């Protein structure tokens, strides 16, 4: 069976990992993942988590899918936006999510309705 994992850490900068040259912080488990997987090394993020998550989930600029911040409904990814989970699910993969979603709390926006 083939597995595909997409891992996004929260509030971590590129230089925060030993495998990226940090001489102080030891990150052996993340280093092992980096050595055995595919890494996005030129992915541009937003200053808050929801816009970054929206870009990763949709493949589009966060403003294009309605996500501009993390509060007051501005974290809700447009229901018309297709997520990577929907694409994978429709291709026959089993999808799952663990951890923080932060792309809308109301029922239609929840991961269970977005391909997971």
Is 49 one of the catalytic residues? yes
Q: Does residue 7 form part of some domain?
A: no
Are 54 and 107 found together in one domain? yes
Residues 37, 54, single domain; the answer is: no
The overall pTM is greater than 0.85? no
Query: Measured between alpha carbons, how far is 54 from 84 in angstroms, rounded to an integer?
Result: 10
Same domain, 54 and 99: yes
> Does 6 reside within a domain?
no
* Full domain range(s) for residue 33: 12-42
Q: Of the residues 19, 20, 69, 102, which is catalytic?
A: 102
Q: Which two tokens stand for residue 38?
A: 């595919």
CA distances to 3, 21, 55, 82, 115 from 91, rounded to whole Å, are 14, 37, 21, 13, 11
Tens of pLDDT along the chain (116 residues)? 667 778 888 778 888 999 999 999 999 999 999 898 887 777 777 888 899 999 999 999 999 999 999 999 899 999 999 999 999 999 999 999 998 999 999 999 999 999 99
């Amino acid at each position: 069976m083939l597995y595909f994992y997409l891992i996004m850490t929260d509030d971590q900068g590129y230089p925060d990992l030993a495998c990226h040259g940090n001489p102080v912080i030891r990150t052996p488990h993340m280093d092992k993942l980096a050595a055995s997987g595919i890494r996005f090394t030129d992915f541009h993020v937003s200053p808050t988590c929801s816009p970054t998550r929206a870009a990763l989930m949709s493949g589009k600029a966060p403003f294009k899918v309605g996500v501009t911040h993390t509060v007051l409904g501005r974290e809700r990814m447009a229901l018309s936006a297709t997520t990577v989970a929907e694409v994978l699910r429709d291709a026959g993969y089993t999808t799952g999510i663990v951890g923080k979603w932060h792309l809308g709390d109301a029922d239609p926006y929840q991961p269970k309705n977005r391909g997971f």
